[in-house]
Amino acid sequence: MSLGRVPCILVINGPNLNILSIREPSFYGFKTLEQIIDILINQVKKIGIQLQHFQSNCECKLIETIHSAIDRIDFIIINPAAFAHTSIALRDALIGVHIPFIEVHLSNVYSRESFRHSSYLSDKAEGIICGFGAMGYELALSAAVAYLKNQNN
């Protein structure tokens, strides 16, 4: 974290998360992505950290967003959605920028189809949160803030 500026956390959301509350609410819940982001914005207002967010269904746009985070983002919270299980390019982008990140999934991927049990990102993440629905983002944000505070001590 650079001295002299407010720390910034970037929340990245992958494919189909723009239709939360509509798509399989039994797995993903009834909150919209906008509602989740609003909760996070309110959470960071209380602690003096900036929050940016981005969602795309396009792998290349997610990668470009990660690349553009260099020198301006201190931590990434990413819900790669299905790209967790398919995208080596997303993994390479996250490794390449040297920004710590937490992987979040709304559903418990380990209680679902076997192809969801592996992620190309998990072994490089600071941590993984899955199965807690929208609250997983709040948990990830708390963990990211704690990580950043520990880096400054």
Structural domain for 115, as ranges: 13-152
Average pLDDT over residues 129-142: 96
Determine if residue 94 is labeled as part of a ligand binding site.
Answer: no
Q: Indicate the helix (H) or strand (E) that contains 51.
A: strand 50-55
pLDDT value at residue 116: 66
Q: Does residue 107 have a known ligand-binding role?
A: yes
Q: What average pLDDT does the segment 116-122 reach?
A: 80
53, 105, 120, 137: which one is catalytic? 105
- The predicted structure's pLDDT at residue 26: 76
79 annotated binding-site participant: yes
pLDDT in the model for residue 108? 80
pLDDT at site 117: 63
- CATH number of the domain that 49 lies in? 3.40.50.9100
Residues 6 or more apart whose CB falls under 8 angstroms from that of 12 comprise 53, 54, 55, 62, 65, 66, 76, 77, 78, 79, 80
Provide mean pLDDT across the span 127-143: 96
Say what the pLDDT of residue 74 is: 97
In-domain check, residue 7: no
3 state SS of 140: helix
98 annotated as ligand-binding = no
- Is 105 designated active site? yes
* The pLDDT of residue 111: 56
Residue 39 belongs to a domain: yes
Residue 1 lies in a domain: no
Higher pLDDT, 30 or 121: 121
* Whether 28 is catalytic: yes
Residue 130: inside a domain:
yes
Q: Which of 28, 53, 120, 137 is catalytic?
A: 28
In a domain, 135, yes or no: yes
For residue 137, tell me if it sits in a domain. Answer: yes
Number of compact structural domains in the chain: 1
Residue 8 lies in a domain: no
Mean pLDDT of 19-42: 88
